[in-house]
Structure 1
Amino acid sequence: MMSNDPQPQIRPTASGAGTTVFTGARLIVGDGTTVIDDAIVTVRDGIIVGVSRRSGAPDEPDQADDATVIPCAGKTIMPALVNPHGHIGYMRGTVCDPRFFSRDNVIDHLRRFVYHGISTFQSLGTDANHVELGVRNDQRSGVLEDRDLATLFSAGSGIVAAPTAGRSSGAPFFAVEAVHQATDPDDAADFVRRLAERRVDAVKFWIDDRGGQAAKLSPQSSRAIVEEAHRNGLVAAAHIYSVEDAETALDAGADILAHMPRNPEPGPALIDRLLDRDTAVFTSMSVQGPTNTDWLDDPIVAETLPPSAIDDLRERMTARSLEPLFDTSETFRRLQRNFATLHEAGVRLVFSPDTGVFAQLPGLAEHRELEALVNAGLPPLAAIELATKRSSNLLGLTDRGLIEPGRRADLLVLDADPTQDITHTRRIAAVILAGRVVDRDRLRRQLQDHAHGAR
């Protein structure tokens, strides 16, 4: 029942029902340390029921008569990625613009995630007209039957400061009309109550003043947002830029800093506060540089995007027109230093590609963030743990993020070992959702059609 092919092809399966056994791969469990060579992963009805190293005994699971055996010799299996921070629906091809936001585009992005090995995604605060929440609700109720979509979590519409004399609102450039512009603490709290009525998965608010160009959310409004979120059993995530912003967010009681403090370097006092409260801090490194277009030459990029879109993005990145607020090279060096400081101190850092803006293409940004983390000094196994176990934990999910019995069989099968080169996470042989091998060829055709403007 074993294959002699060192790189066997893994064919799509109709469902995850019954027993499926994946044999012979190198297995990355997702806990940051454990790797099992020549592994057996047994899946029953979409759930992992066994993980072991193959011994060659005749009664091993890969010899069971009722099992579908999928040989994976020469491959590496890791958990599918989980992304708790991004913004979907606004990017068409490689351009992010509010005119593109639609339900159709949200669904396209959820397909792109699955194609690239991301099983779960949380959109943080840029839902326009409750479109994302509608898709999420249709997923959970079963109305949306497409199985090749990442599981969607959504914070609905986030909260920014309303414009003041001479300053715009603090809204992100691509979603100015989608977010709520709070005029005072009472207005901010009232909006959180409305979000809670819609059963959002989190509350997002922006403190950053966009380099002094925008009104900054007040400490009073920030506190009102977090207190009302907590009253309704919701976590609150604060977009911050500076250490001062981070202090305001912590004073308010925020559960998540949606970026690392970028200026200046976080000092011992801030780090102690982050540790005392076990506040999650999103990495969000690749979104901010440095400007590098080499990754656009990776074959996986051209699999779902037309050459014209890739060339257009390359030109805009080379002209540095994608980072209107950032001194990219210096800021990125500062981010790397700050990442090392926070990591060495034991701060709870969580994977965060900030997908869907600038050059953060849905499905590809996640792999770029892994590369940025490793380039910042994190070992590949630790980077993978941030993007699987730790990000799942942040979302309150105990059914994914690790390859162990009792978890959903959401797996990423690779043709090369990412512990040797983290960019090997892009060399995808198969994506498995709840035990079902996804038909990536069919999915690729759908994504190509959408990228070319087909409906």
Structure 2
Amino acid sequence: MLQPLRRRVFPLLLGSLFLGALACQSSVRNVRADGASPVTVLRGARVIDGSGGPPLENAVIVIEGTNIREVGPVDRVVVPASARVIELEGKTVLPGLISNHSHLGMTDGTSAGGQHYQRDNIARQLRQFEAYGVTTVTSLGFNMPLLYELQQEVEQGTLPGASILGADGSIGHPSGAPPVKAVGGQLQRPGSVEEARAAVREVASRRPKGLLKIWVDDFNGTLPGKMPPEMYTAIIDEAHRHGVRVAAHVHYLEDARRLVAAGVDILAHGVRDQEVDESFVRAMKTHGTWYIPTLGLNETFYIFAERPEWMAEPFFRHAVQPALAQQLDDPAWRASVLQDGKTAPVNKRALEFNLKNVKALHDAGVRIGFGTDSGATPLRIPGFAEHRELKLLTQAGLTPLQALHLATGSAAELLGLQDRGLIAPGRRADLLVVQGDPSKDIADLERIEAVWHRGRQVSGAPTDFTP
């Protein structure tokens, strides 16, 4: 009976899901001195609306307060006489990107760990995400009560940066993942099924109808153990009893298969040990399970040591903290990675499977979200990682429009958000203005001219940002 119940109940819960974000968002309004909401018109741009459909050329977007009031062809939309008009001929406007899998407060410079879960560090990361066009970030686990405070401040307009959604704490296995030192209740490692159920109830007591992250695999054989099926089955069952969705960290196809059968809501990483088969595809579709491929995860283990040309470009350099930039520029560090003899080949193979699998699942109609694991390690760089992920999605065989749909409309759907992710009346005016046409060349998405968040421009080009 679990599956039918889940299908009926969870879509109804998602509107109030994830730390009360939707409840506090309406408290922020752009208001004129006379009490009315200001009207701004973006005119003449190409609009990619996030639905996956073709762009609308020579369009008009009417923004009233924090939301979009109207969108349509320039010859059909009436521009209010009192509106501020911004001409964008030759530019493209699309929804702000939404990350379904990132981490806040886990890294600083070249180090990672729970000790970095500090207000100033998280605030810096939120500004960086926003400057690179990621206007909503899901921090998937390792969170502390500070996150809830910052979330409210962002939505109230007193803290600049990307909007925050997220999971509460996380649950791992005593001898398995994650191989990270957590602090302050960020992670629980139950030793039995009974302890696991109790851990879920604790999460539900703090954030009912929320999201829980579990760590299942052994990081491709690098850890001594992984979470047994009886434990994650109990966690999923207990979570669903309390209206909590479960996202699982996975690597292997067999683990993914069993998790789907157990009713997991989200596979938070792609399958990377072999190609998916037809039975797995059918199970994903039957259960309605979401899939977040995080293609860039394995690539980060070697790509910076190989020093591709794009590492010299300002778009990348402005996303890198000084200490990390020094490491990446160090020939000795690069040599240590490449001379390992194992790191690059293992991760290139994992990426190869991940690319094939996301294409197969997408073509089959499986529900796919967008995430990068950005912020989990220093090399998964907030903001930049999301743009790299889009390029990898097109490398996998998706069209630029399909990739952009995953990062906007589809990502919003995964989170149950009906107020963003699309350029449509009633949606929030979270927008990117870019030069060129990313529906034809995904690289044009890096040519950001402006980022709009909740109806106002909050930044210009990413090169104006200092990490």
Question: TM-score under structure 2 normalisation?
Answer: 0.84
2:283 maps to what in 1? 273
Offset from partner CA, 1:306-325 (integer Å, 9 cap, x none): 56632423545664389969
Matched, 1:145 2:158: yes
CA distance, structure 1, for counterparts of residue 345 and residue 395 of structure 2: 20
Q: Is residue 2:109 matched to residue 1:96?
A: no
Match of 1:67 in 2: 83
1:44 aligns with 2:64: yes
1:202 aligns with 2:211: yes
- Between the two proteins, what is the percent identity of the paired residues? 33
Contact 1:89 1:100 in 2 (8 A): yes
Deviates more, 1:262-271 or 1:312-321: 312-321
2:262 matched to 1:252? yes
CA contact (8 A) 1:288 1:326 kept: no
Residues 24 and 396 (structure 1 numbering): CA distance in 2 closer, same or farther, change over 3 Å? same
| 1:320 corresponds to | 337
Q: Does 1:171 align with 2:185?
A: no
From the superposition, tell whether residues 354 and 306 of structure 1 become closer, same or farther in structure 2 (CA, over 3 Å): closer
- Work out whether residues 39 and 83 of structure 2, in 8 Å CA contact, stay in contact via their aligned partners in 1: yes
Distance 1:157 1:208 in 2: 18
Q: Which residue is equivalent to 1:302?
A: 317
Farther off after superposition, 199-208 or 388-397: 199-208
Which residue type is aligned with residue 150 of structure 2? V
The reply on whether 1:357 has 2:376 as its aligned counterpart is yes
- Residues 309/325 of structure 1: CA separation in 2 closer, same or farther (3 Å cut): closer
User: What residue number does 1:118 align with?
Assistant: 134
- Superposition pairs for residues 198-237 of structure 1, below 5 Å? 198-199=206-207, 201-212=210-221, 213-237=223-247
- d(CA) in 1 for partners of 2:40, 2:335: 47
Which stretch shifts more, 97-106 or 353-362?
97-106
Give 1:9's aligned residue. none
Query: How far off is 1:95 after superposition?
Result: 4.4
Any idea what the Cα deviations from partners look like across 1:171-199, whole Å, max 9, x if unmatched?
Answer: 24364883111111111111111111221
Q: Shift of the alpha carbon at 1:296?
A: 2.1
What CA distance in whole angstroms lies between the structure 2 residues aligned with 1:318 and 1:29? 44
Q: Does structure 1 residue 186 correspond to structure 2 residue 186?
A: no
Q: Work out whether residues 223 and 251 of structure 1, in 8 Å CA contact, stay in contact via their aligned partners in 2.
A: no
Judged with a 3 Å threshold, the aligned counterparts in structure 2 of structure 1 residues 46 and 194 are, in CA distance, closer, same or farther, namely same
In structure 2, the partner of 1:379 is 399
Deviations 1:127-178 (A, max 9, x none): 2x433234235546x4x712x2211112121101113xxxxx3224364883
Shift of the 306–120 alpha-carbon distance from structure 1 to 2, 3 Å rule, reads closer
What is the distance in 1 between the residues matched to 2:152 and 2:234? 27
Cα gap change, 1:335 to 1:236, in 2 (>3 Å): same
Aligned residue type for 2:424: E
Using the TM superposition, name which of 326-335 and 45-54 deviates more: 326-335
Q: How many residues align?
A: 421
- Equivalent residue for 2:94? 78
**Equivalent in the alignment of 2:348:** 329
Q: In structure 2, what is the Cα distance between the partners aligned to 1:118 and 1:94? A: 22
CA RMSD of aligned residues (A): 2.6
Note if contact 1:94-1:361 (Cα within 8 Å) is conserved in structure 2.
no
Seen in structure 2, the aligned counterparts of structure 1 residues 183 and 421 have a Cα distance that, compared at 3 Å, is same
Decide whether aligned partners of structure 1 residues 270 and 330 sit closer, same or farther in structure 2, where only a CA change above 3 A counts.
same
Aligned partner of 1:408 among 408, 412, 428? 428
| Distance in 2 (alpha carbons) for counterparts of 1:406 and 1:15 | 15
Q: Which moved more, 1:243-252 or 1:309-318?
A: 309-318
Structure 1 contact 40–51 (Cα < 8 Å) conserved: yes
Aligned to 2:21: none
Shift of 1:262: 1.2
Cα shift readout 1:414-449 (whole Å, capped 9, x = no counterpart): 0222123212211110001121011448x987x63x
In structure 2, distance between residues paired with 1:265 and 1:304:
33
| Maintained 8 Å contact 2:450/2:460 | yes
Q: Which residue of structure 2 lines up, in the alignment, with residue 159 of structure 1?
A: 171
Distance change >3 Å, CA 306–CA 263, structure 1 → 2: closer
Write the letter of the residue equivalent to 1:79: P
Per mean C-alpha deviation after superposition, the further-off stretch among 28-37 and 294-303 is 294-303
- Long gaps (5+) in structure 1: 1-13, 164-168
Matched residues in 2 for 1:176 and 1:320: separation?
A: 29
Task: Assess, with a 3 A threshold, how the Cα gap between structure 1 residues 401 and 375 changes in structure 2: closer, same or farther.
Answer: same
8 Å CA contact retained: 1:26, 1:35: yes
Farther off after superposition, 316-325 or 293-302: 316-325
Give 1:20 deviation, angstroms.
Answer: 0.5
Mapped contact 1:136–1:154 kept (Cα < 8 A): no
Mean alpha-carbon deviation: is it higher for 386-395 or for 294-303? 294-303
Conserved 8 A contact 2:129-2:161: yes
